[in-house]
Amino acid sequence: MSKKTLVEAAMGRATDRTPIWFLRQAGRYLPEYRAIRKDIEFVDLCKNPALAAEVTLQPLRRFDLDAAIIFSDILIPCTAMGQHLTFDSGHGPVLTHPIRSAQDLFKLHHPNVEKELGYVGEAITLTKKGLRPDQTMIGFAGAPFTVASYMIEGSGSKTFTEVKKLRYTQPQVFEELMELIAAVTSEYLLMQVKAGADCLMLFDTWANQMTAEDYRDLVFPHMNRVIEAVKAKWDGPLIYYPGQTLEWLFELNGFLGDVIAVDWRSRLPRAIALIENLGLNVSVQGNLDPQAFMAPESLLRRNVRQILEAGQKARGHIFNVGHGLLPHTPPEALLIAIDEVRSFDKTRGSSH
């Protein structure tokens, strides 16, 4: 049976090439995605297994990628818990009935994940049929705090005032909401594994909005508990993105996942050194600035190579952007970056 390059690197095993995929690799920068999207609302697309599988596979037809990540959104589980999700053009996601009190919390329910979110599993099963045996199927979820922040604010936020207010004035409600999301997230990820996911990713994009103490005491334990619950029933790799700061790496003692995704705002060599100093036996993913795809070819290649060279010092390295591809990304620039990774692999021989 063919080994999956990304899974091997994630677990720190030897690979003959550097695995590559891109956060938000399916999406608005591709004309074939826009053609499908013009006739369907975003949430309806996420809930349509055939179309979600189709847009998940689109970038793999164009590019030499080692993984597909299922087309969905971190807030999809909120729709099964009792909130209604829409996407305002230019404003991002909006959730109805934000959680601001114990009464709001009581209105939420713990869904039957297989029944109410099974369409995500169906999309994974369909996508998997379109992958080569060496390509990895990635399932994902939002980490509890990041999902909670949207559920409390009702949308994205620059100040996270309602999140802080709930945390400071109704800590019990905040804690119970985090517990509910952690339990649902664990079940949601295991449902994705059952459907065929070979690797999982947890996004904690807004974790950096908390103080380091609050991250360690209120955010990290719930995130780690999700990983613990998943790992109790599955031995595949799990990637964690702790948001836009090196600071939280200091707080990851006892982290139970396998890969840390490093944001592009952090220097990869520094992140790798910090992970090593903490004694964490994990691989790294990242961390090209997604805007680097607008650079002249020589500069783009140099940036890619610097990341690849830094990645050699890690237990394992998965090449990626530090955060998602942007709508104005030129698809041809991805071909250049991928070519540079493949050229680097040829010059270095086999990896760790």
Marked catalytic residue, from 28, 265, 267, 305: 28
Q: Is 150 one of the annotated active-site residues of the chain?
A: yes
Marked catalytic residue, from 29, 33, 150, 240: 150
| CA–CA gap between residue 15 and residue 291 (Å, rounded) | 28
Rg (CA), the chain: 19
Marked catalytic residue, from 13, 37, 265, 305: 37
**DSSP string over 187-215:** HHHHHHHHHT-SEEEEE-TTGGGS-HHHI
Q: Is 270 one of the annotated active-site residues of the chain?
A: no
How many other β-carbons are positioned within 10 Å of the β-carbon of residue 56? 25
Exposed/middle/buried for 346, CB within 10 Å: 0-12, 13-18, 19+? exposed
Place of tokens 């992958």: 131
Distances (CA, A) of 1 to 4, 129, 133, 134, 234: 9, 16, 8, 9, 19
Marked catalytic residue, from 66, 73, 104, 258: 73
Marked catalytic residue, from 17, 24, 167, 315: 24
Q: Is 73 one of the annotated active-site residues of the chain?
A: yes
Going by their DSSP bridges, the two strands 85-88 and 92-95 should be labelled as: antiparallel
| CA–CA gap between residue 185 and residue 192 (Å, rounded) | 11
Catalytic positions, written as ranges: 24, 28, 37, 73, 150
